Amino acid sequence: MTTAKERVGQKVPKFKDEAEMGEFWDTNSPEDFPEHFQEVEASFASPLIKRGLTVKLDQSTLERLTRAAKEKGIGPSTLARMWILEHLNKPERSATP
């Protein structure tokens, strides 16, 4: 395995797919390839999250939510937010058939 110092000056390889790219960046840093990247300023018009919300759940529900989130590789609050947004973005169903 090469060290970061030895990689300076080397080119970032071409990848055959995202999995190969992921494996490469799991063990390498963009800082090892400074000639391939440039630092840029980024700004956002408004904060992505403006306010928090506390939702109280019983222990069993919280455990189920945590397990479901872990299966997806995300945190429970992220999963809860995703589910809320999915529900709110569904077209409203008419109360009358």
pLDDT digits (tens, 9 = 90+) for 3-38: 555 555 678 889 999 999 999 999 888 888 888 888
Same domain assignment for residues 15 and 54: no
pLDDT at site 4? 53
* SS3 letters across the chain: CCCHHHHCCCCCCCCCCHHHHHHHHHHCCHHHCHHHCCCCCCCCCCCCCCCCCCCCCCHHHHHHHHHHHHHHCCCHHHHHHHHHHHHHHCCCCCCCC
pLDDT digits (tens, 9 = 90+) for 33-67: 888 888 889 887 777 767 888 999 999 999 999 99
Same domain assignment for residues 28 and 62: no
Determine, yes or no, domain membership for 2: no
Determine, yes or no, domain membership for 1: no
Determine, yes or no, domain membership for 92: yes
pLDDT digits (tens, 9 = 90+) for 63-80: 999 999 999 999 999 999
pLDDT at site 52? 84
pLDDT at site 17? 93
Same domain assignment for residues 24 and 64: no
Same domain assignment for residues 97 and 50: yes
Question: Where in the sequence is the domain holding 80, given as residue range(s)?
Answer: 45-97
